[in-house]
Amino acid sequence: MRAVNFICLAVLCLVTITLCAQLVGKKKLLAINTWPWKNATASAFKSLQAGGTSVDAVEAGCRKCEEMQCDGTVGFGGSPDSTGEVTLDAMIMDGASHDMGAVGCLRNIRNAISVARSVMEHTSHSLLVGEKATSYAVMAGFKEEPLETDRSNLLHAAWLASHCQPNFFRGFPGEDKECPPYHSPVRPNQTRSEQVSRHVSRRNHDTIGMIALDAEGNLAVGTSTNGASHKIAGRVGDAAVIGAGGYVDKDVGAAAATGCRRDGDVMMRFLPAHRAVMNMRLGLTPAEACQEALSSIARVYPSFQGALICVSAHGSV
């Protein structure tokens, strides 16, 4: 296999991304993901170089991040929910077949992306959630083990000591002796559109989004996350929602999204990954498609902070 014009770089474009691309004859291999997680990108790209499909590559890259606990925002041991439990969301979509699989609020299984792939390949469903998603995973041969660690337990204890602030409740009528008050400290004049994250960094987002292009010209997209810290127990985030966390159309391109801790729920209302791919269908470049999709959210939520990566069917970024 002859390699021409090999590139592996990290650039800043709304967020830092990591990309590896290689021309093999007239065919292009490509792996790209949100945030500078080079080991995840390298795992995906190694899969492509070994002859793997785009789906193989996306699974390998996201799985690497899960195992490395990338910045504590992917995989086990991070982002405990309001009860102190760590749960995972993941999604994978195959552009060649338009098949997809996802898991939400997955408990006690460490490789969520692989369970999502199993849902895609071995069921007629698209999304499994909660305890029953775990039951399916065990039935499919995955090992059941706790996702909590000393670190996640300390994060939860510190949150309880801070009177459960910040949190995701709004005007909640219930009471809890351990966790008063059940509301976020919102200014009286603060509109709902302002109640989103103010700062983007590697520490306050919550998703790896990955796109791969294989030697057959097929695209795939995938996501994996342990979600927002102190999320209300039972929450399923944007990463597991097709069109929000990721989307691919084999004839057009693919997009994967990431949001800040409080903006993932905003992203689910707009399906930015799907919108970006449809923008490319209309003739926009990948960069233009991403920008327009994000702008559509910012028009309603001016303080929204999030990002998209977009790739055309031919591998343009």
Cβ atoms of residues 147 and 134 within 8 Å: no
Is 207 catalytic? The answer is yes
Provide the terminal-to-terminal Cα distance of the chain, rounded to the nearest Å: 24
Pairing outcome for strands 99-107 and 127-129? parallel
Instruction: Judge whether 237 is annotated as a binding position.
Output: yes
List phi, psi (to 5°) of 184: -90, 150
Structure tokens at 190: 């603060």
Per the residue annotation, which of 34, 207, 223, 225 is the catalytic one?
Answer: 207
Instruction: Judge whether 262 is annotated as a binding position.
Output: yes
Q: Is the dihedral of CA 79, 81, 85, 88 positive or negative?
A: negative
Structure tokens at 181: 């008050």
Is residue 135 left, alpha or beta, with left meaning phi > 0 and alpha meaning psi from -120 to 50? Answer: alpha
Question: Which residue is listed with tokens 């606990």?
Answer: 69
Cβ atoms of residues 269 and 257 within 8 Å: no
- b/e per residue, 33-49, with b = 16+ CB within 10 A? bbbbbeebbbbbbbbbb
3-class DSSP state of 276? helix
Q: Tell me the angle at which helices 130-139 and 112-122 cross, rounded to the nearest 10 degrees.
A: 80
Rounded Cα–Cα distance for residues 6 and 4 (Å): 6
Q: Which helix (H) or strand (E) holds 248?
A: strand 246-249
Instruction: Judge whether 259 is annotated as a binding position.
Output: yes
Instruction: Judge whether 261 is annotated as a binding position.
Output: yes
Amino acid at 90: A
Instruction: Judge whether 174 is annotated as a binding position.
Output: no
Rounded Cα–Cα distance for residues 68 and 75 (Å): 8
Q: Which residues are annotated as a binding site?
A: 235-238, 258-264
Q: Which residues are catalytic?
A: 207
Q: Which residues are annotated as a binding site for substrate?
A: 235-238, 258-264
